[in-house]
Amino acid sequence: MHFPEVLVLGATGRLGGILRGCWPRQGPRWQSRRARAGAGWCVFDPLGDPEALARAARGCDAILCLAGGVPGRGRLADTVPLAEAAVRAGAAVGARVLLASSAAVYGAAGGVMREDMVPVPVSDYGRVKRAMEHTAAVLGAELGVPVSCLRIGNVAGVDAILGGWHAGFGLDRFADGRTPRRSYIGPATLARVLGDLLAAPDLPEVLNVAAPGAIGMGALLDAADLGWTPRVPEDSAIPEVRLSTETLERFTAFAPAESTAAEMVAQWCALKAMESG
């Protein structure tokens, strides 16, 4: 995998951990607020020390911003200012900016989600990510910085199903016998796709990131040999939400196996083994 010079903000988070486990050890510059063992770490507060951020980004082709609050972790209110800081740093050093957004911006709509749809987020997290997208796009246009917002789907293991499993786990099962189907991506596939996007010379302003198709949540738990109890869905439950990957597939190619529950679970297990080892 060829990597351009890239600074990764928020590298100590869950997605950052995936990239650090899957990407080459040499090359990427990893940002942390606290000192870390190993080479490649840049230690500074992106909000409190913009000059340090610009120094860390000097010579980079791209800044990948994973930083920002997530439900239950971090401050959601920091999400927009962190994106703005990344865009300003990109302007200072001539780097483009890729921002980790979320499929949560689409809200409660069902069916296939395409990038040209008008987002109607319903959660605080989705609304903050949508505000981040808008603010970064406006600032990027003002400063002449190419900005791409990556609407990332569910990442196997960093989700409410595999990652949130517990004994007695309950899962909706619809009248047709199927469990909710959602867009997913395996952690190793995500790392490869983000590497391909960083190597691409030009990206759209908004891009869905997921493996093609949709995965049954029950199939994921079954593949991981994690037990679950079926429950009757509420009337508002949505059987399927799928991100369109038509645009994404212009920049990266997927093997058929990468869209299967078995492969996603295998990637998750391999990552867990590597982290524990």
Domain map (residue ranges) of the chain: 6-153+185-210+243-257
Q: Which amino acid is at 239?
A: P
Of the candidate ranges 9-13, 37-41, 111-115, 193-197, the one whose mean pLDDT is the lowest: 37-41
Structure tokens at 190: 């995500």
State mean pLDDT over 160-181.
95
CA angle 21, 42, 203 (to 5 degrees): 65
Note the Cα 12 to chain centre separation in Å.
14
State mean pLDDT over 34-61.
91
Residue 174 has pLDDT above 80, yes or no: yes
Distance CA 178, CA 171 (A): 10
pTM, to two decimals: 0.95
Structure tokens at 181: 């189907």
State mean pLDDT over 143-169.
96
Distance CA 222, CA 49 (A): 46
pLDDT at 274: 83
pLDDT at 1: 53
> Considering the chain, what is the average pLDDT of its residues?
94
Q: How confident is the model at residue 27 (pLDDT cuts 50, 70, 90)?
A: confident
pLDDT at 37: 67
The listed CATH number (3.30.70.990, 3.40.190.10, 3.40.50.720, 3.50.50.60) that belongs to domain 6-153+185-210+243-257: 3.40.50.720
Q: How confident is the model at residue 26 (pLDDT cuts 50, 70, 90)?
A: confident
Torsion (CA) 93, 32, 82, 251 in degrees, nearest 10: 70
For the beta carbon of residue 81, count every other beta carbon within 10 angstroms.
16
